[in-house]
């Protein structure tokens, strides 16, 4: 069964070290996460694939890595000081603070409707620059990487001699002081962004906007987020960002959250280059820019055909790496029956689950919302047994579940059945899998098997495929561990290997095994991984 709730994905991400809460040893920091040993590999693979597709495989792109700190004036003329606001309300009853458009007039903490009027809250973080702390010595942590590209437009143009249309790609950190960070990596305060600013002749912008929409959908499909899981939302005029003439939001169907923005593709017109430019009045700008008396540069392009300086329009595809990470994990997630569990065992689990739900329903110490969430989840699992059986562990990890005594009995019934009859598998597209190959010796105390397996690991790692060695359990258990982190291929070195130089290669998805000569492993795997 694919992931039906975000909790399943979050639980696996935590359990297997994809993602950790930041500064957990001190109680964490809300809205900030660290990527663990597997997470950093997955994130790097996503970013490399984005870079390869958008920079190396096109002939109209350059790359850039601009600094996070920029002159404050960038954020004045970009419009962010004035407009990068979310509507903030206070609950007068419990003193908590919320984003007005996320709570439908009722405090999610205490249920009160006694809220203040919404007021704008600027989401840019400030930090002090230099040793003197006065009102002028601060800078913002960038809320988007895009401005580093606009501020370097003239530098890139001068050093590359590019002709329109061309684009600049950048991957880097963005920071937003979100009022209520939530839903794991979905809404956080520090995150990585993958952004393209694509500069085009005015008048060709709408056609390039459509081009980028298709190009981006095709990239998403290529990393395992299929077209039918994404809706294209044509943002209504009233909701457009201050710089946009038209924006397509790509809305991915996240488990639990439903369709939510994963990427924005905006037509930023000539707003940004125009706003940051000196002599603005000379260029016939279409956007309503902020009058600029501070800029030292004209951010223009000399068009030989018309023999004049123009300000290009910009199409901007912009995606958050964390939201991509979450989508890729959700799509890859699968709980699969490997051996049908016997009916009597499933019945016993079903009865234990009913007893658990009855006890939840009767428990008056639980808050109404906690009780409803447990009941809703538990009833959905009960209706989908036996396929949903592994989800019982996630149910028992939900808030309030630890207060239900019969939960222990339910775990005792469900866990052995889940372990024996199911496997959790991340069916990543091989090119983004954190580990490509795992190598095991059939026996860990046999010198010949261990030496051969370690030699294969080393040789494959040298080819650039992330390869790990493991001998810490029985082969079946080792397969399950690799399935759970999405490793597409496992190699086992057995006694036949020592005689004829072949090894078994097991495919993650089909679980089929094939014997392959050690000398042919690299080409065999390369062809499969792509």
Q: Among residue numbers 192 through 221, which ones bind ligand GAP (CB under 6 A)?
A: 193, 195
Q: Which residues contact 114 (CB under 8 A, 6 or more apart)?
A: 91, 92, 93, 107
Q: Judged by CB under 6 A, which stretch of 48-56, 319-327, 355-363, 395-403 contacts ligand GAP?
A: 319-327
Toward ligand GAP, which CB reaches closer, 204 or 260?
A: 260
Choose, by CB under 6 A, the member of 5, 300, 318, 330 that binds ligand GAP.
318
Q: Interface with ligand GAP includes 373 (CB under 6 A)?
A: no
Tell the smallest beta-carbon distance from residue 37 to ligand GAP (Å): 22
| Cα-Cα end-to-end distance for the chain | 26
Toward ligand GAP, which CB reaches closer, 318 or 424?
A: 318
Residue number of the CB closest to ligand GAP reads: 320
Tell the smallest beta-carbon distance from residue 323 to ligand GAP (Å): 4
Toward ligand GAP, which CB reaches closer, 316 or 335?
A: 316
Tell the smallest beta-carbon distance from residue 441 to ligand GAP (Å): 42
Alpha helix positions (H), 425-487: 447-462, 475-485
Toward ligand GAP, which CB reaches closer, 5 or 145?
A: 145
- Residue 365: burial class (beta carbons within 10 Å; 0-12, 13-18, 19+): exposed
Three-class SS of residue 131?
coil
Closest alpha carbon to 173 in 326, 33, 313, 13: 33
Token pair for 520: 């042919």
Q: Are 429 and 528 in contact (CB under 8 A)?
A: no
Choose, by CB under 6 A, the member of 39, 274, 312, 320 that binds ligand GAP.
320
Toward ligand GAP, which CB reaches closer, 16 or 187?
A: 187
| C-beta pairs of 96-105 under 8 Å, 24+ apart in sequence | 97/179, 97/180, 98/179, 98/180, 99/178, 99/179, 99/180, 102/180
Q: Interface with ligand GAP includes 125 (CB under 6 A)?
A: no
Toward ligand GAP, which CB reaches closer, 255 or 322?
A: 322
Q: Among residue numbers 263 through 282, which ones bind ligand GAP (CB under 6 A)?
A: 263-264
The percent of the chain in helix, strand and coil, each rounded to the nearest 5, is: 40, 25, 35
Toward ligand GAP, which CB reaches closer, 39 or 407?
A: 39
CA separation for the pair 39, 16 (Å, rounded) = 9
Toward ligand GAP, which CB reaches closer, 176 or 506?
A: 176
Q: What is the pattern of x (binds ligand GAP, CB under 6 A) and - over residues 127-166? A: -----------------x-x--------------------
Number of other CB atoms surrounding residue 307 within 10 Å: 7
Tell the smallest beta-carbon distance from residue 366 to ligand GAP (Å): 31
Q: Interface with ligand GAP includes 261 (CB under 6 A)?
A: yes
Q: Among residue numbers 171 through 190, which ones bind ligand GAP (CB under 6 A)?
A: 176, 178, 187-188
| C-beta pairs of 365-371 under 8 Å, 24+ apart in sequence | 365/403, 366/400, 366/403, 367/400, 370/399, 370/400, 371/400
Toward ligand GAP, which CB reaches closer, 4 or 318?
A: 318
Q: Which residues contact 90 (CB under 8 A, 6 or more apart)?
A: 96, 97, 98, 115, 116
Question: Torsions phi, psi of 418, nearest 5?
Answer: -60, -45
Three-class SS of residue 262?
strand
Token pair for 333: 């997630």
Place of tokens 């795997």: 525
Choose, by CB under 6 A, the member of 149, 262, 493, 505 that binds ligand GAP.
262
Q: Judged by CB under 6 A, which stretch of 10-18, 204-212, 315-323, 369-377 contacts ligand GAP?
A: 315-323
Tell the smallest beta-carbon distance from residue 174 to ligand GAP (Å): 7
Toward ligand GAP, which CB reaches closer, 156 or 185?
A: 185
Toward ligand GAP, which CB reaches closer, 318 or 497?
A: 318
Size of the site for ligand GAP (CB under 6 A): 19
525: left (phi over 0), alpha (psi -120 to 50) or beta: alpha
Chain positions contacting ligand GAP, by CB under 6 A: 144, 146, 176, 178, 187-188, 191, 193, 195, 261-264, 316, 318-320, 322-323
């Amino acid at each position: 069964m694919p992931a039906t709730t975000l909790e399943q994905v979050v639980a696996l991400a935590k359990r297997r070290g994809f993602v950790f809460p930041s500064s957990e040893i001190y109680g964490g920091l809300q809205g900030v996460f660290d990527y663990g040993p597997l997470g950093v590999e997955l994130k790097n693979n996503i970013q490399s694939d984005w870079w390869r597709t958008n920079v190396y495989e096109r002939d109209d792109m350059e790359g850039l890595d601009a600094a996070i700190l920029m002159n404050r004036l960038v954020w004045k003329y970009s419009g962010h000081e004035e407009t990068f606001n979310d509507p903030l309300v206070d609950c007068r009853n419990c003193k908590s603070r919320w984003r007005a458009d996320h709570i439908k007039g009722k405090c999610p903490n205490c249920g009160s409707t006694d809220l203040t009027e919404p007021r704008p809250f600027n989401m840019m973080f400030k930090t002090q620059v230099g040793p003197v702390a006065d009102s002028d010595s601060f800078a913002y942590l960038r809320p988007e990487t895009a401005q580093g590209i606009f501020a370097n437009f003239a530098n890139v143009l001068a050093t590359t001699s590019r002709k329109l249309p061309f684009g600049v790609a950048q991957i880097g950190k963005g920071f937003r002081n979100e009022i209520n960070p939530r839903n794991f990596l979905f809404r956080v305060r520090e995150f990585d962004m993958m952004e393209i600013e694509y500069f085009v002749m005015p008048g060709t912008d709408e056609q390039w906007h459509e081009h980028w929409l298709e190009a981006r959908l095709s990239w998403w499909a290529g990393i395992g987020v299929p077209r039918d899981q994404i809706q294209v939302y044509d943002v209504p005029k009233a909701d457009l960002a201050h710089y946009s003439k038209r924006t397509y939001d790509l809305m991915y169907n996240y488990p639990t959250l439903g369709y939510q923005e994963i990427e924005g593709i905006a037509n930023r017109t000539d707003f940004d280059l125009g706003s940051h430019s000196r002599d603005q009045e000379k260029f016939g700008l279409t956007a309503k820019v902020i009058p600029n008396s501070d800029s030292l540069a004209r951010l223009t392009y000399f068009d030989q055909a018309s023999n004049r300086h123009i300000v290009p329009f910009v199409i901007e595809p912009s995606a958050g790496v964390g939201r991509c990470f979450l989508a890729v994990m959700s799509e890859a997630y699968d709980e699969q029956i490997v051996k049908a569990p016997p009916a009597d065992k499933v019945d016993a689990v079903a009865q234990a689950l009913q007893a658990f739900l009855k006890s939840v329903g009767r428990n008056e110490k639980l808050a109404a919302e906690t009780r409803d969430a447990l009941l809703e989840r538990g009833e959905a699992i009960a209706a989908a047994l036996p396929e949903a059986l592994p989800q019982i562990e996630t149910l028992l990890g939900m808030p309030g579940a630890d207060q239900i005594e019969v939960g222990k009995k339910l775990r005792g019934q469900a866990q052995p059945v889940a372990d024996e009859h199911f496997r959790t598998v991340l069916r990543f597209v091989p090119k983004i899998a954190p580990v490509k190959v795992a190598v095991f010796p059939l026996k860990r105390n046999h010198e010949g098997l261990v030496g051969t397996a370690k030699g294969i690991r080393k040789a494959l790692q040298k080819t650039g495929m992330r390869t790990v060695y493991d001998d810490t359990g029985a082969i079946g258990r080792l397969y399950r561990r690799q399935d759970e982190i999405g490793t597409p291929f496992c190699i086992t070195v057995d006694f036949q290997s020592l005689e004829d130089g072949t090894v078994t290669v097991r495919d993650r998805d089909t679980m089929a095994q094939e014997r392959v000569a050690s000398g042919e492993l690299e080409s065999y795997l390369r062809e499969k991984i792509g």
